[in-house]
Amino acid sequence: MEVVAVNLLPQANSLEEWQAFLEGSGAIDFVWAADTFDQLASRTYNIQSLGTTIIIDRDGQMIYRDEVA
């Protein structure tokens, strides 16, 4: 399994700020991406709140959704 975290507001914090946050939080190893293409991720998956978790299977189908921060 690969975990990809997508920052929907990349203009809000620099990459360095996010890296410092992750190092301090003891987070697991994962890929960090920024949605810089016209909020494509938030529009595609109808993300309305911060902290939304979505699990997508190998076929690209959403199999889990949680909107609890």
Read off the pLDDT of residues 43-52 as tens digits, 9 standing for 90 and up: 888 888 878 8
Q: How long is the chain?
A: 69
Output the pTM of the full model.
Answer: 0.63
Q: How many domains does the chain have?
A: 1
pLDDT range class, residue 14, cuts 50, 70, 90: confident
Write out the residue range of the structural domain in which residue 27 sits. Answer: 4-66
Closest by Cα among 1, 9, 18, 23 to 52: 9
What does the pLDDT look like over 17-37, one tens digit per residue?
777 777 777 666 777 788 877
